[in-house]
Structure 1
Amino acid sequence: MSNLQGFFKQMESDDDINNVHDVGKDIWDLKFVMMEDNENKPKNKNYGVCAFWCLMMLLLVIAGLVFAIVYLTLIGPNMKAEEVQTGPVSTVCNNSACVSLSHSLLQTMDSSVKPCDDFYDYACGNWIKNTIVPDGRDQATTMYSDMDRQQDLRVLFEAPDKLDEPEAIKKARTFYDSCMDKETREANGIDVINGGVEGVFGGWPILESNPGGNFNADNFDMTTLMTGLFVHAGSTSIARATAKYYEDTEEFKLEISAGKFSTMPNIEYLVGNNYQKEQDALLDYVTNAALILGANPSIARQEMGAVVNLETKLAQAYLDNQPTPDNVMTVREMQAMYPDIDWTVFLTTLIPESVATITDDFKVVNVDGDYLTEAFRILSEEPARLLADWMLWLCYHDAMPYLNDEIRNNYYEFLAIVEGTPVREYYQDCVDLVHKLLPSATARLYADAYLPTESQSLIDGIAENIRTTLTDLIGKSSSFMVVSAKEAAKAAVKEAIISVGVPDYVRENGALNKSIWM
């Protein structure tokens, strides 16, 4: 199978899977979510308040500590099996990983700063002073980096299959190998994607009668193209839906929000007066891409310029309208408000029946309702040819890193100007693609290598010990904490949600195999 044919296979999108359980992030992130009751916050500004916030910050620091322990003892390159403790948890950790971690944490702190004056500077001051952001990156982090993750996954993807591995992992490796097949990519990549666009989506108008073109405006239907792009390419240009479970009402609701409507990584570059260089780079990029894919040179710049103008209008509409997170309505009301889309068909396509059954009375949260109202007004004034040019261009744009070197270099030249992003090694793009399309299989592969079940249980125990210890410390702090601050702190510690590792279904072969689309 070519590395590009996956773009035109029917799939349960990564959005569908991640909306229920964000597997991809759970595998290398420690989530510490603090829920506070605003009514319980102390009103007087004194050292009790300071102590409360210090304890809250301490909770976050300890969350980082747990993550670091996971990394140093389970994932770090120098891990030794005999250092993983399986017996009762000692009150003092003095193995090499803990000593190294303690030293590194002390190196990041600035003890000359009083924690109640600036806790962040106290905890991180020396790290900020001594850290240089690497070239080509816009940030630095103390955590396990994307490059580290990509390199680890590369090793796992390139390893031989094991007899007892689930089929999902074997298919993930096959997909990775296909993505890394440079010879096929150079020879057939553009033909494959153009053939898919013409055969499945009705053709990209700008290609006219060339392969991938042959668009017929009379056959254009926005709902059909929206759903088709999502099913076959995971593209959501106009709107996207996220399934979330609301514990207060014990029901699923769909959050409807703006789709990925722009090529520009930062949409403020589209509308700002001080970003002419970025705007020129965008027009050059989209025009050159269209030419490489087979567009007529006499119309390419003008027609892709119209696409950029449409993206600019949508960007301005998005920036002008605030989110409405409490805007609950039914699918029937959505249909009446935005009649250009068959919302029942669209949402049924986005959300698997195993998650929710879409009916007219199904409740949705229209997070970007004001934007969508303006966006549909803008789209209603544009011809079908431009709408198809725009929607299909966003699909092509997502595929740029996986095509031939000419079009890939054009893509990274654009990113270098607007983001300072250097050309990535090809394996990095392939690792990210497999993780995006097969997050559950990637998570299982990673967990088997770096987070066995017994280690995950051990970490869960450490986290709960931290919760108990914090609660005891708060209870003994009567000399400097007011009662309301103490109770609020205890409540925050009790309600903190700790999520480490992967959900159970990822470790179950049958359920895992059913979660993939290939």
Structure 2
Amino acid sequence: MNAWSGQEGDVMGPTVTRAGSAKPSTPPLKNGNDLRESGYLIAVGSRTSRFRRKYKKRMPFLVIVIIFLLLLIAFIIITILYALAVHKKPVKLCKSTECLRSAANLALSMDPSANPCENFYQYACGNWGSDHPRPDTYPSYDWFRDKQTKVYTIVRDFLNRNISNQPKAVQQAKEMFVGCMDTETLNKRGLKPVITILESLGLPPYPTFINITEDFDYSTYTFDWLEAVIKIKTHIGMDVLIGFDIYTDAKNSSVYRIIMGSPETTNPFPSTHIERKRHNGRKSFNFLKRFIEETSSIYHVGRRYDKSDDSADEDEKLAQIHKLFYAELMKLFVLESGDIAKLTEVDLDKNLITAATEYYTMNNDLYEMEGDNSTESDEEDYGNIPDYTADEIQTHTDAVVELNNGTASPIWKRYLEGVFSISNTELDFEKDKVMVADSDLKYMSLMAAYVSKTPPVVMELYIWVKVVEVMSIHTTTELRDLFQRAYEQSHSHDQPSPRSLQCANAVNDMLGMAVSYGIADPHFFNVTKPKIKTMIEELKDALAHLVGEAKWMDDNTKLATYRKIIDMKTLIGFPDWLLEDGKLEEYYEGIVIDPKKHLENMININQVKTKKVLNRFRDGNNFTWATDPTEVNAYHTFQENTISESYDVT
């Protein structure tokens, strides 16, 4: 029988007969419980149930393992951090007096109430002004001036101390301070020192203009103004009408060049009003566009003060103050000479006012001559200032003189020969060219034309007042009071500084290296200065790195910049030679100081300095300091590729 045929019988296959022994002996079941109890029904659990049953006993073990691993990781991290902390150098906190003072000053200067995102300056320095009120002596006051005043105080205290076994130059600085403070001797000597110096310059005791009568013949009076200007430059180091100096060549810093133009050093003596000094090592270009210091001339005619620029009345008031001052100044010298017998007192006063007005007019004209040029260009390119032979300058100025209907005369070669006559240098006028900016060449031409048409007696008046003005304030109390009265009338800050600080400033200005020797700290040389050098070297390295990353510089420019960085010289604190035996005496060789002759002391120092400047013209540049170490400031002298940084003794 076919089991899958679907025909005849059971399609599932043939009937199977179970043997009797194979039948289960299962009792009859009545319900599901019976089936379950008999084993007929088997309970089927879910996967979750099976998982819980399987891992129920393993979960605590897994949790313990995870916690252990976390603790192990934490232990490893702590161990690494501890090892780094142990081997890392601890941060050194500076707890010296200087560091604590600087930190305290910084904290006190800050204004925490200000929002640094809106006004960072107010946040960082907002309280400085209120904690440092401006003294009446100064028109402005800042951190540099505050520090500079403290330096002058330290200098004054040092000069007052009786210390033996000092180098000769330091002792001379102390003697100069004594001479400046000895007002009794200054008053006793009166105007005689000034008159003696005027005689050596070829100038009379008082201007000839004052003694002029109605029948005076201008054509009979002769005065060699150029010879007087040369002597003034070589004797007291002052520029009158002509500016002259020697500076580093911008294109070759190893040599010096002669530079001429408008007057630069208009006051070779220290100011009686303690003002911040200019960077006196280098001339500012454009020559004619520069800041006219109050120390240049206490009464610089043509200058504008404060809010009087647009006020004709205020200008006229200032003009009257100046004219009256000059008249009183000249009268003191007339009375000192006592030889005007031709004039009555009324005529004398009349002539004094006329002379003061004449000087004021000429001084104002020359000042405007300089000021007119300053608008031509914002800044002269020092590296591209043209140079000329003396003959070329003469040819140019002669043309301008003749164009203005003046009479040309040889000036420039004669001036240079006269100035260098006190030195060991002999000029070669074909090779030794003079650098003159375009604006200065214009001034020199206009000045030559103006002078050519000015009567000799007026020229003498102008030069006389210029010289006496800067010298006489360093003489008697009467003259100092005369200056101070006029100063108070024309300046908003009218309180004079103490005499002791004035004298300390004078000595520091004239003998700065000697003063620096006295207050120099060996700890600075041995400890602080090397650290500053290291800092600067690191800054130079960082600069070189930035240059290397710059994409806007080509390779040649980068190479030149690298060389400049490598060659850059640093002048920090004090010169390295300052404390060496004999070096200070060598530096101030030729200087003579007499504690009874204050004015002559300053003139002698200027003479020595002028001669040294002229003698170095042929020498190679030794990159001397542009400022005294006691000046609180820092400079980059680009011509010499040097950085000068003073030492804060406070």
TM bracket (short chain): 0.5 to 0.7
Amino acid at match of 1:227: I
Amino acid at match of 1:134: P
Q: Which structure 2 residues correspond to residues 223-238 of structure 1 after superposition, within 5 A?
A: 223-238=226-241
Of 151, 154, 176, which residue of structure 1 is paired with 2:153? Answer: 151
Q: Give 3-state SS (helix, strand or coil) of 2:388's partner.
A: strand
Instruction: Report the alpha carbon displacement of residue 449 of structure 1 after superposing the two structures with TM.
Output: 1.9
Change (3 A) 1:363 1:102: farther
Instruction: Report the alpha carbon displacement of residue 354 of structure 1 after superposing the two structures with TM.
Output: 7.4
Instruction: Report the alpha carbon displacement of residue 310 of structure 1 after superposing the two structures with TM.
Output: 0.6
Question: Residues 280-306 of structure 1, C-alpha deviation per residue, up to 9 Å, x if partnerless?
Answer: 211121111111222632311111110
Q: Does 1:430 align with 2:503?
A: yes
Between 1:454-463 and 1:98-107, the stretch displaced more is 454-463
Query: Which residue does 1:195 correspond to in 2?
Result: 196
Choose between structure 1 and 2: higher helix proportion: 1
- Are the counterparts in 1 of residues 109 and 126 from structure 2 also a CA contact under 8 Å? yes
The separation in 1 between residues aligned to 2:189 and 2:369, in whole angstroms, is 39
The separation in 1 between residues aligned to 2:584 and 2:501, in whole angstroms, is 27
The separation in 1 between residues aligned to 2:192 and 2:590, in whole angstroms, is 30
Q: Give 3-state SS (helix, strand or coil) of 1:201's partner.
A: coil
- Are the counterparts in 1 of residues 387 and 435 from structure 2 also a CA contact under 8 Å? yes
The separation in 1 between residues aligned to 2:298 and 2:451, in whole angstroms, is 17
Query: Which residue does 1:379 correspond to in 2?
Result: 451
Query: Which residue does 1:358 correspond to in 2?
Result: 427
Change (3 A) 1:145 1:162: same
Change (3 A) 1:352 1:205: closer
Query: Which residue does 2:316 correspond to in 1?
Result: 276
Instruction: Report the alpha carbon displacement of residue 353 of structure 1 after superposing the two structures with TM.
Output: 8.0
Change (3 A) 1:342 1:372: closer
Query: Which residue does 1:402 correspond to in 2?
Result: 474
Change (3 A) 1:189 1:504: farther
Question: Residues 384-412 of structure 1, C-alpha deviation per residue, up to 9 Å, x if partnerless?
Answer: 11111111211111123222222211101
Q: Give 3-state SS (helix, strand or coil) of 1:226's partner.
A: helix
Query: Which residue does 1:264 correspond to in 2?
Result: 299
TM-score (structure 2 length as normaliser): 0.55
- Are the counterparts in 2 of residues 506 and 512 from structure 1 also a CA contact under 8 Å? no
Of the two structures, which has the highest relative contact order with CA contacts closer than 8 Å and spacing of 6 or more?
1
The separation in 2 between residues aligned to 1:345 and 1:118, in whole angstroms, is 59
Query: Which residue does 1:512 correspond to in 2?
Result: 587
Q: Does 1:463 align with 2:532?
A: yes
- Are the counterparts in 1 of residues 183 and 477 from structure 2 also a CA contact under 8 Å? no
Instruction: Report the alpha carbon displacement of residue 272 of structure 1 after superposing the two structures with TM.
Output: 5.1
Amino acid at match of 2:415: F
The separation in 1 between residues aligned to 2:390 and 2:320, in whole angstroms, is 41
The separation in 2 between residues aligned to 1:385 and 1:318, in whole angstroms, is 23
Query: Which residue does 1:55 correspond to in 2?
Result: none
The separation in 2 between residues aligned to 1:451 and 1:290, in whole angstroms, is 48
Q: Give 3-state SS (helix, strand or coil) of 1:269's partner.
A: coil
- Are the counterparts in 2 of residues 240 and 257 from structure 1 also a CA contact under 8 Å? yes
Question: Residues 348-399 of structure 1, C-alpha deviation per residue, up to 9 Å, x if partnerless?
Answer: 5656987965331313222422222222222222111111111121111112
| Count, aligned residues | 415
- Are the counterparts in 2 of residues 223 and 341 from structure 1 also a CA contact under 8 Å? no
- Are the counterparts in 1 of residues 508 and 515 from structure 2 also a CA contact under 8 Å? no
The separation in 1 between residues aligned to 2:541 and 2:122, in whole angstroms, is 26
Question: Residues 173-207 of structure 1, C-alpha deviation per residue, up to 9 Å, x if partnerless?
Answer: 33332333222222222133123323542313248
Return 5+ residue gaps in structure 1 as ranges. 1-89
Question: Residues 153-179 of structure 1, C-alpha deviation per residue, up to 9 Å, x if partnerless?
Answer: 33333333634422x333333333233
The separation in 1 between residues aligned to 2:433 and 2:127, in whole angstroms, is 49
Question: Residues 216-238 of structure 1, C-alpha deviation per residue, up to 9 Å, x if partnerless?
Answer: 97552122101212233332121
Change (3 A) 1:500 1:351: farther
Query: Which residue does 1:253 correspond to in 2?
Result: 257
Change (3 A) 1:99 1:149: closer
Of 519, 525, 538, which residue of structure 2 is paired with 1:449? Answer: 519
- Are the counterparts in 1 of residues 109 and 128 from structure 2 also a CA contact under 8 Å? yes
Q: Does 1:294 align with 2:334?
A: yes
The separation in 1 between residues aligned to 2:358 and 2:574, in whole angstroms, is 45
The separation in 2 between residues aligned to 1:340 and 1:263, in whole angstroms, is 32
Q: Give 3-state SS (helix, strand or coil) of 1:244's partner.
A: strand
TM-score (structure 1 length as normaliser): 0.68
Query: Which residue does 2:43 correspond to in 1?
Result: none
The separation in 2 between residues aligned to 1:469 and 1:264, in whole angstroms, is 47
The separation in 1 between residues aligned to 2:421 and 2:258, in whole angstroms, is 12
Percentage of identical aligned residues: 14
The separation in 1 between residues aligned to 2:130 and 2:550, in whole angstroms, is 35
Q: Which structure 2 residues correspond to residues 81-100 of structure 1 after superposition, within 5 A?
A: 92-100=93-101
- Are the counterparts in 2 of residues 110 and 123 from structure 1 also a CA contact under 8 Å? yes
The separation in 2 between residues aligned to 1:228 and 1:446, in whole angstroms, is 31
Instruction: Report the alpha carbon displacement of residue 253 of structure 1 after superposing the two structures with TM.
Output: 0.8
Q: Give 3-state SS (helix, strand or coil) of 2:143's partner.
A: coil
Return 5+ residue gaps in structure 2 as ranges. 1-90, 213-217, 267-295, 336-347, 398-407, 593-603, 605-650
Query: Which residue does 2:173 correspond to in 1?
Result: 172
Change (3 A) 1:170 1:308: same
Amino acid at match of 2:258: L
Change (3 A) 1:467 1:153: closer
- Are the counterparts in 2 of residues 217 and 385 from structure 1 also a CA contact under 8 Å? no
- Are the counterparts in 2 of residues 317 and 371 from structure 1 also a CA contact under 8 Å? yes
The separation in 2 between residues aligned to 1:176 and 1:216, in whole angstroms, is 47
- Are the counterparts in 1 of residues 260 and 435 from structure 2 also a CA contact under 8 Å? yes
Instruction: Report the alpha carbon displacement of residue 331 of structure 1 after superposing the two structures with TM.
Output: 3.2
The separation in 2 between residues aligned to 1:506 and 1:468, in whole angstroms, is 23
Q: Does 1:316 align with 2:386?
A: no
The separation in 2 between residues aligned to 1:276 and 1:362, in whole angstroms, is 46
Query: Which residue does 2:389 correspond to in 1?
Result: 330
Q: Give 3-state SS (helix, strand or coil) of 1:403's partner.
A: coil
Q: Give 3-state SS (helix, strand or coil) of 1:235's partner.
A: coil
The separation in 1 between residues aligned to 2:317 and 2:390, in whole angstroms, is 42
Change (3 A) 1:432 1:334: farther
RMSD of equivalent CA atoms: 4.0
The separation in 1 between residues aligned to 2:182 and 2:352, in whole angstroms, is 30
